[in-house]
Each structure stands twice: as structure tokens, then as C-alpha cells.
Structure 1
């Protein structure tokens, strides 16, 4: 026979009451399994509901207690705070996922652009260059597959983290929405005892294609591989004497520059490099694609690149894109650097006798090649050019006559 509600003592069969009572609406309410009394308080130490008789037992004598209703309100507020934090994390991870998807989309767009460029460059030589084109496209595919893989792997990690967070949100939300107080506390206890997976916030991975391998003086590069069929004849650049440091001697044929033994008396010109042993070409470029070659054989020191018109020329100058110079150099006969900031070490397989420079003004690209092999040396990160650019040269210091050979300058019109 069921016990009387609210602690009634009537019993017809002489048995002790069980742990369930009957509520006002006929629903059974949990009761203290030890005393059979209604559960009125919540032990904040053991995190369990108790009856009033449990308060004087040795198990709970020194514990802290809250009324059931107050405990429910307190912990629901805590859950709301945790739920808010989870939703904020979800927004962060959603933004990361969107950013990563954008990076992948942009990279794929650049890949497609490069593939189109490769095809267009080969169009004029299609009859006898089909095999070379297929070979380059295979190389491009291998190159970009290695770039895309870490981006896509990182996207999957972000997606897995989002799924885990969403599961936690659903669990927290369901617990917070629990209307039955004691059921809520039981769910809360399980929630607190449930180990939470610590998800480290990932970062968005970016990748940059090496444009210089597939977008540069491509026709000329392949043209030089076909020396038996075609012989390229570079046109000369003209070095600008008004920009040449007074220690430089300009040669006439071929165009080139070496270092004088003595200082030349020259007009003081704001365009002149002083004291750096440098010179620009007369030709400057506002637009288009350009390629030229610089002979550097037999030298232990040189600098080759491009400079914007407003770049500093007086006093100590810093050669970096931030200061208007995109250049590579050789020092001490074997130390090659791309003059980024800080400089980037280069390790060409052999010493270039000629350095090729490729400028694509609209694309903001400056690339360098071992011109004798058309092997790519370095490509600077794309820049937004906004003023005239000039080919830039320095034969370096004489280094006790070890570096006395001049540099020679050529240009090939694409």
C-alpha cells in the first residue's frame, strides 16, 4: 500500500514507507531514501538534495545547504552564463571557419588564374610546345596540392570543434530548460561530473602560391630552353648617369657599371645615389610586364632589383620593399639574400652568371631567376605599386679588386 502524502503515518500492513510520495496532482515526488521525508534542501558540498532530518547526520553536519528553489535559481543562472560563453565561442569558430573557407576559395581562384595564364602564354607556340605545357601543369598541380592540404585539414579541425561545441550547447540548453527542479539538479550533477573536452582555439592557416614558378617570363623561359630553334636577342637598357654614384664608371657597350678607382666630379643632383654605389636605368615603368637580365659573373658582391621613383637615395639607405626597393644581393662571394625585412636567405644550386628580373606592374609581382637556367630564385609578396619603378643596380664595393668586374645590363622586350 502507498504511504500517505506529506509524511502521513497511516500504514495498514505494518511496513515502513518507501521513498516516494504522491503530489497534489497525483505525481510521485522523490523522498529521502534514508528518512522517507520530503527533499527540502540542497547540499552544496555533496551536490545532492536532502530532507531536513539529513542536516543533523554525521554525513552532512558541517556542510552548507540552500533551499531547493534557491539552488535551482543559482545554478540556472550559472548555466545561462556558461551557455552564453559557449555561444560566443561558437560565433568565434564560425568566423574562423568562414575565414578559412575564404582563404581556400581565394587560393583556388589564384590557381585557376595561373592555369589560364600558363595556357595563354603557350598559345603562340602550341604546335611544338604541347608536351612542355602538360609538364608545367603537372608541376603546378603537385605544387598547389601541397598548399591546399594543410588549409583543408585545418578547416576540418575547425568543423569538428564546432560540432563538439554544438553538442555541448544542446546538452547545456536541455539542462537549463529542465522544469522539474530535482530532475534539473540530477542533470546538473551529471553535467558537472561529465569531463569537458578542452578544445584549443585553432588559427586560420594561409598559404601563398609561388607565382614566380608559374607566372613570370614564361615564354622567354621556354624560349631559352629551345635554343636550337630560337635565339633570343636581348635589347640593352640604358643606365642613367644622373643617378650614378660618383664612384661608378658607366660602360657604353654593353650597358654596364663598374667601380672607379677615384671620385668623379659630377653635378650634385637630387636623383644621384650618394654615398651608396648604385645606379638606375633611364627607363622607368608605369605599367606592363618587363624582363631584363644582368650579368654578374666573376663578382663577389652585387645588388639587382627595382626601385620606386621616390625611394631614398641619399645617406644610408635601407633596401627593403617598405623603403621602396625590391632586390636580391650577393655578399662575400656566396651569401645570397632577398632583401625583405628581415632579409631572406637564398640557396641557389649554383652561382648565377646572369640574374633575370621580371616585373609585372599591374600584378605587383617582382621575381628573380638564374637567367642562364631560368631557375626561379625568389618572388616578393605582391605589392600595390602606385608610382614609377626603375631597374636598380649596384656592382658593390671593389673588395680589394676581388669584385672589380663590372655588371652588364640587358633587357628583353616580351
Structure 2
């Protein structure tokens, strides 16, 4: 349903005002002559209350009304528009209602020009116009428009002469000014209107020529138009037809539009028409159903908003969870790869140094054998030149027997870099990561993706390293086949026995050696590089152990050490042996001793993981224990190296 709003611009100027404008001219012999309509009351009337402005306020279209009038008008406008919209809404189908429900109501219009505003304008008092209005009210003496003796006096003054009029006006202005000054004590008013004690009639024509004309008379033929919430009407709150200027009192059901009686006669004569009131009384019972339907739509959308908000909260939580899990996953993967890379580089460097030491040892041994063979060769050459047959026969028997030498046919330099174990561990880790990543793709993050491959993380490495013990080998305890470096930090097994002084401290059957530093209290830590050796023993032994003949390596006999056999079998020497399963092959072993607690712990230094801890009770001095084991024909001839302790973060 459409509502025909009243026309905006009802002309405010009368014929007399237009004629008064045309009569404004400059009087001869004077500076300026202004017609009396300059102070016409029409210029200060509010189109809503039909009274002189009180706190005049201009709206965005430029028209001015009393602040209270325009505020009350827009308050009523909201209610009126909602009712009309409800009537129109109930006459629509469900699909049309859905569309109409989304259409905004243009609630706020100018009462004169009907210009609509999308939002309710913010009103402010026009201070300049308010001052002019107050002055005009003071000149009128507060008498209502069109009534009172003073208004008649003003009209008589206008007919009798401008000088007399101005005297009356100035007297009234001066008296009003003095009264206001006494009551309010406003100093600026007295400066704006100074008292006039002896006005001169001769000066009046230079300022103004006449008093304001009398206000227009209100009669049935010329009613004063009052602007209400739907347009201009004769003081009734009824919208006016913009074509016929009649009140909109009828409703055409055929065209679904509100009309005036003239419209019904001219354009809707054969249509189904009723009064607006009758239509509303018939439509009003449907209002409750429509209201319930709208409220249900509101509730449904409110529930949907809550549902969306909850979904958004779940999305944010899921993002935080996925972000944390993914960061953890990639951090662990990156850390594992970096660790493997560092380990691989270190393993290759250790293998290079071990191969270099092995090559130097083999070259020195070959050079010694070559030197012996060269001596024998020179002796045989001299024997061939000798004429002493008896000497030649005796000497030849000695020289002809092969010298004691090593069979070098099956000996070669160990070129195994020891990286296969690192690659296998890395491949296992990558495979596990791929499996977990596939699970994440299918079902999301269940929890920690990659568990550390080692059994237990190395606790407080830096603190243990602060207990570093500078260990050196004790040559008096070394087995005759063991070769020690000059700095007593490196030991490996040679091919044959060396000539060494016999003493009670020396091991005569087992290829092992003790450290020089006794441990009788406190905490101590040292590291030994094992490289790619296939067999070794590392740990501690007490001072009173047996060193001659066959030895049973158990804690009951004073030995606490970790062993490697056949390059892959790790065990702690107990009765029976305790197998230790390692996923990552160590290339440097850290040994930590807490004498008071009776603890001996072993760590993989490169991977920073714990290997094994044995608890016992120490009752006497203990010493670091080292055994490179036999070289197994060159397969296990890499040395054990006591490395300096480097503090790590």
C-alpha cells in the first residue's frame, strides 16, 4: 500500500506580502526608507505551532521551527509511519513481506518541503534568529498575534506617520530592555539597546519608514494552515492529498492506496473503497499474527547470530590449537633435522680423524717392516760378496728364515664413515613424521606429533659439564698391547705386545687401562670419543680390583662400565648382562659419577640423551676405566679419545 504524502511547499507569502515587497523603495531626500513589512509577524511564526519562534532550530533542508515543535513532530512521525507501514505490510504476500521487511522507513521529513532524512537530524538552536525573535517579541510587548490594543496602536502609528511609530517602538524597546536588565542583570543587553531619553522624529525616516502591518485575519475562507506530521491541514492531524489539498480519509482496496474523497470521485469511482478507519479496524486483528511472525523471525535471526558467534569462537580456538600444534611439529622436525645434520658432520669428522690415525699407524708399522727388510736385504747382498764360506753358511740360515712380520694381504684402511646409522635414524624419523602428518591430514592434530626418538632427554647438561674432570691415562696400568699417545689422552690396541716393566698395577690379560685421577667424593664428568669402533668398554673401576689373569667384570667385583660388541650390541656389565637398546648410535660417550649417591650414568653427548644409570654403593677410591678391546685384524683399530669438555647452552 502506498501513501500519497502532502505536497511540501505550501507558500507562506500572501498577496499583501508580495505587494509590500514591491512597495519597498528608497525615499527621496533620505538615506534609506524601509517598508513596514520589514518586521512582519509572518516572518517569525513557526509553521507547526503558529506562534512566534521559541528557540528556533533550522533543519538540513533550511526550514526553521521551534525546537520543541519539530522534536514533538518527529516523535509523532515515528508512531504514524510505523502504523501506516503495518497496514501496508499486512496487505502484502509472504514473499513481498520478506522484501518489505528489509526496506528502511523514511521516518524523518521536513513538515514544509517533505524532504526525507535517512537519520534523525541533530538539532541546534539558531542563536541569531533567537535574538531577533526575542527583540520582535519585546516590540510586540508579548501580545498575541492579531489581538490587543498595542497591536492596534502599532497599526494606527503606521497610518499616522513613521515618526510617531518609531517613538512608540523605541519607548517599548527601552522599557522592555530596562525590565530585562533589572531581572536578569545582563550587561550585554544594555549595551545593545541603550536608553533613549529624547528621540528625534526627524531621524526616523533615515532608519525605518513604517511599522509592521497588522497580521492576517483568520477566517473560514482563509484558514491558517497548520503543518502536522503528514503535511498541511486545517489544524487536524490528517494527511493531505497533494493534488486536491483534501484530507486523506479513504482507502482503495483495488489499488491498495490511501486517497482523499476527491480522488475517490475522480479516479476510484468504480473501485472497492472504504474509510481508512474501517480498513484499519478490519486489518487490525491480523496485526497480532503478523507481529508474532515478525517476532519469530527476529528470534530465529537472533539464534542464528548466537550460533554464528559460537562457531566463530570455535574457529578461533581451532586456529590457536592448530597453530600451536603445527609450530610444535615443525619446530621438532627442524630441530631433529638440525641435530641429525650436526651429528652427521661430526661423525664424518671423527671417522676422518680415526682413519687418519689408523693410516698413520699402518704406515709407521709398514715403514718399520720395510726398514727391517732393507737391513736383511743389505746383509744378504754382503753375504753374496763374501768369500768366507763358513760364515756364509752360518749366517744364511739366520737370514733365510722369514722375519716376524704382519700379513698385510687382508689389511686395508677402514673407509666406513659411520654415517649409515645416522641416515637410518633420520629415515626412521622422517617416516614417522610422514605417518603422523597423514593422520593430521585426515583427523587433525591429536596431540604431540613426534616423540623424541631417544629414551630420555639429557637433563641439565650444562650443570653436569661444570663437574668436568680432566682425565689422563695411567701408563702403569695399561696392557702391553695398548698404545698411548704422548699426552695420555688417546689409546688404541696394537698388533703385538710391547716391552713394558712388570708391575702389580698393570693388566696382563685384558686390554684395558685406568685413569690417573682417583675419585673419592663429589660429582665428576668426562667424555670419550668412540667414533666408529665395533667394540669398547667404558666406565669406572675401584682401586682394589684384580688385574692379573681372567677377570669377571661385574659390579660385585668392582667394575661398573658400559660395553659395545659387534658394532650394535650395547650392554651394562652385570651378572647376567643388562641389554641397553639404543635407537641412535653414539659417537661420544659422557660418563657422570655421583660418588655420594653411588651413581654411574652414561649419556650420548651428541644427541644429548641419557643411555643408562646404575646405582650402587662406593666404599673406596674409583678410577676411570677404558678398554678399546682388540683390534680384530684392523676392524676395530680406531682409538678411544678423551676429549675436552665444552660448555653448551
> Which fold has the larger relative contact order, with Cα–Cα distance below 8 Å and residues 6 or more apart in sequence?
1
Q: How does the TM-score come out when normalised to structure 2?
A: 0.28
Instruction: Tell me which protein shows more strand as a share of its residues.
Output: 1
Instruction: Tell me which protein shows more helix as a share of its residues.
Output: 2
Question: Which structure has the bigger radius of gyration?
Answer: 2
Q: How does the TM-score come out when normalised to structure 1?
A: 0.44
